[in-house]
Structure 1
């Protein structure tokens, strides 16, 4: 194997939903260097208001390893692990050390960290929460303070609704 491939680097590990802590602990028990960046957010439950620690990137964590086949197999055999992230046809893609260092500094600072993705105008979305849960529409614009406008096509016309950005997900493109 090529020496460049066997050089230790950080990789992104995709894990099962809500298995981030389980996988992180499993990797540490196997003597891997793992990093699960967490942030504090207010619990969304209505019956209590408390701050909880949640993964910064749900479904993902970082693991430092070389791409030795034996070690790669040990990583993906960890309960809850899915795969190392990379190109579909190529090997996993390493994450630069300075990116992981920056993430460590950000989560250690205990300042508000916001994540998410920007929606593009015309992108198909679905409202997942609130009274409009299940409504499918087209992203129109950002309104500020976490609010977005979603257009819903009805009988050749549209109705626009303002909802929380947290209650909107992107729908996959439909191939006809």
Structure 2
């Protein structure tokens, strides 16, 4: 049974274990057109893809001094999709998707542990920041608290101790305040 025959018969889905299934599911990085994260998230979710769209709440003050809490993307113009590599072409064909992030001609991925770490940071009631320019810190492992077991970097910033998970493929570091007693050197 050829792939072309399967598509003619309306069987466009490649199932794990079939001869047409290649590789394993990974977290791929999708680059979007500006301000289209919510729309593409909805489109991909409706197509049954597992999509990670991290957001933060921010207080904005308008010109008329009105204050309003708004939801902003943690990584503007990026979404993370847990899928097979061969499905990236179908994702790229969706409206408002510019491309997928690649490194050396291959689609870039982020480890599941990094995604889980960012999700856990978002679940904590602490201020989260994202840095693109990053000062090197010492590699550490968290030994206590909700982030126990995660590895990242420890930096001093404005007199505060901060723990960061580095997402090298998109050149971002997610930082959160942490107690120095909760970490150990790797």
The answer to whether the 8 A contact 1:12-1:61 is kept is yes
Alpha carbon RMSD of aligned pairs, Å? 2.4
Report how far residue 110 of structure 1 moved: 3.6
Which blocks of at least 5 consecutive residues in structure 1 are unaligned? 121-142, 146-176
The alignment's TM-score, normalised by the length of structure 2, stands at 0.57
Match of 2:76 in 1: 58
Gaps of 5+ in 2: 1-19, 136-156, 160-186
The 3 A distance-change label for structure 1 pair 51 and 110 is farther
Rounded to whole Å, the distance in 2 between the matches of 1:9 and 1:45 is: 41
- Report the counterpart of residue 7 of structure 1 in structure 2: 24
Q: TM-score of the superposition, structure 1-length normalised? A: 0.60
| TM-superposed deviation, 1:36 | 0.4
Q: What residue number does 2:145 align with?
A: none
Aligned partner (choices 57, 61, 67) of residue 40 of structure 1? 57
What SS class does the counterpart of residue 27 from structure 1 fall into? Answer: helix
Distance 1:35 1:24 in 2: 8
* 1:95-133 CA distance string (max 9 Å, x none): 10000001111112242101122379xxxxxxxxxxxxx
Query: How many equivalent pairs are there?
Result: 118
